Amino acid sequence: MQTETLTQQITALHQGTVSASFLAERALQRARSLESLNAFVALEPAHILAQAKAADERRKQGRALSLLDGVPIAIKDNYLTQDYPTTACSAALPLEPAGTDATIVANLRSAGVVIFGKTNMHEWAYGATNSTSRFGPTRNPHNLNHITGGSSGGSGAAVAAGIVAAALGSDTGGSVRIPAGACGIYGFKPSYGRASRHGVLPLSWSLDAPGPLAASLEDLGHLLPFFCGADPKDSTTRNAMPFDNTISAGRPKLINLTGAGLERSVEVDAAIRSALTRCDADVRETGLADMAGYFSAWEAILHCEASAYHAPLLAQNATGYSAVTRAHLEAGKLLAGVELLKAQQIRAGLMTQLAVLGDWDALVLPTLPVVAPRAGDEWQEFGGRRVTTQDAMTWFCWIANLAGLPCISIPIGMSPEGLPIGMMLMGRPNADEHLLGVAGWIDRNLKVDK
């Protein structure tokens, strides 16, 4: 469905076969014709075309600011932007520009990127379906009756539909990878502390990571240098290394994680096994103990941090929140400190368990246990489980957030009904470059095989 990658746009701009204005106009036209996706919540054509025109001028004068000068990139609505309002798709915030850019937006803007509007998201990123938003739900470009997943659902839809080749997302329990998986594109969650969270409205500050969604794996390599590295405005990035986009990897050692707590549908499991066989990696299989305990720890930390962050605004403007988000935030207040401490300790235990799995380049899971659910379906059944659609979306994804690991979702095929299936690869802490190299090796081998 997606027709052109960011890498192809970069090349075409460099070769002069297209202009930034052409790319912007085409993207705007495509956005208009695909309004039914509800991917964008703020889009100002004149402002976009003016940015593109300026990029064309620079390039004409040999003063292009970077390889990316002139490419249009869409921004999730929880990144602060000078020019567009930022509401995290919640009615609790005013529809006015904050007048400042998140660090990553500022990085892209200084590189000449055309800031292409704001994308729809699950309200406050506090949900993984993209069905709760002040602007209404997002629809999956592969089938408008199905959800995109979330919370970066608008970014997923915009890239998968070929409106833009890349978009920004953020990920607390899978919010980059879930829509990437459900929409059949690529999504990357960096290691915790590797990418600046400054100016990205938080959900849960010890779990949140900003990350890109894009049309190809190579595109992610172009984008991650704008995410990673020390930012004086985000103290958790104090020791963050810049992203080195020159790392490749040989035949990787993979561990396919399966077993109790890691159930998935028959078709998803078959797609993963087929991809692992086809790509010819070195694969062994194992389980993870205590999945239920880890999941509870993730939930406790998420709800408690979200409640702590939202307490002032919730006190001031409770009716601006949807009922379900408000209920989550109220519940988070009830958690006892000693329970939160237990969750933080269990979290440390997960990192220990992953550290002793032995020699591996990446841990493999499906991105989702099922294909993109039909809009309105409240429950999902797979592998003997019956869970809410919300829990099905985050089913595997939260593990990387709880452990702070880098994690990528790549598309590996389509279900019989024409919905994408994604494979997730988790790397070691701060080995983001190696993970991208491993994913590249797999992605290339799967494509050769096609």
Q: Which residues bind its own copies (CB under 8 A)?
A: 235, 300, 304-305, 307-308, 311, 332-342, 348, 352
Question: Can you tell me the distance from the alpha carbon of 96 to that of 14, in angstroms, rounded to the nearest whole number?
Answer: 35
DSSP 3-state assignment of 423?
Answer: strand
CA distances from 188 to 203, 342, 440, 445 (A): 18, 29, 12, 19
The minimum distance between CB 285 and its own copies, in angstroms, equals 27
Report the residue number, 199 or 373, with the smaller CB distance to its own copies.
199
Question: Can you tell me the distance from the alpha carbon of 95 to that of 359, in angstroms, rounded to the nearest whole number?
Answer: 50
Report the residue number, 288 or 329, with the smaller CB distance to its own copies.
329
- Do 93 and 86 meet the contact criterion of CB atoms below 8 Å apart? yes
Q: What is the dihedral of CA 115, 118, 124, 130, to 10 degrees?
A: -130
Question: Can you tell me the distance from the alpha carbon of 408 to that of 176, in angstroms, rounded to the nearest whole number?
Answer: 9
Among left, alpha and beta (phi > 0; psi -120 to 50; other), residue 32 is: alpha
The minimum distance between CB 335 and its own copies, in angstroms, equals 4
The minimum distance between CB 302 and its own copies, in angstroms, equals 11
Per the residue annotation, which of 21, 76, 152, 206 is the catalytic one? 76
- Do 299 and 327 meet the contact criterion of CB atoms below 8 Å apart? no
- Do 159 and 75 meet the contact criterion of CB atoms below 8 Å apart? no
113: tokens are: 């990127």
Report the residue number, 213 or 306, with the smaller CB distance to its own copies.
306
The minimum distance between CB 339 and its own copies, in angstroms, equals 6
The minimum distance between CB 303 and its own copies, in angstroms, equals 9
Per the residue annotation, which of 151, 170, 265, 409 is the catalytic one? 151
User: Helix H segments across 184-322?
Assistant: 217-227, 266-279, 291-316
DSSP 3-state assignment of 450?
Answer: coil
Report the residue number, 344 or 415, with the smaller CB distance to its own copies.
344
Q: How does strand 114-119 pair with strand 72-76?
A: parallel
The minimum distance between CB 340 and its own copies, in angstroms, equals 4
Among left, alpha and beta (phi > 0; psi -120 to 50; other), residue 170 is: beta
Burial class, 253, CB count within 10 angstroms (exposed 0-12 / middle 13-18 / buried 19+): middle
Report the residue number, 2 or 103, with the smaller CB distance to its own copies.
103
The minimum distance between CB 349 and its own copies, in angstroms, equals 10
Dihedral sign (CA 330, 331, 336, 339): negative
Report the residue number, 126 or 396, with the smaller CB distance to its own copies.
126
- Do 174 and 158 meet the contact criterion of CB atoms below 8 Å apart? no
Question: Is 151 labeled as catalytic in the residue annotation?
Answer: yes
The minimum distance between CB 351 and its own copies, in angstroms, equals 9
- Residue appearing with tokens 């970014």: 155
Report the residue number, 50 or 308, with the smaller CB distance to its own copies.
308
Per the residue annotation, which of 21, 90, 155, 175 is the catalytic one? 175
Burial class, 324, CB count within 10 angstroms (exposed 0-12 / middle 13-18 / buried 19+): middle
Report the residue number, 133 or 204, with the smaller CB distance to its own copies.
204
Question: Is 76 labeled as catalytic in the residue annotation?
Answer: yes
Q: Dihedrals φ, ψ of 186, to 5°?
A: -105, 135
Question: Among all residues, which ones are annotated catalytic?
Answer: 76, 151, 175
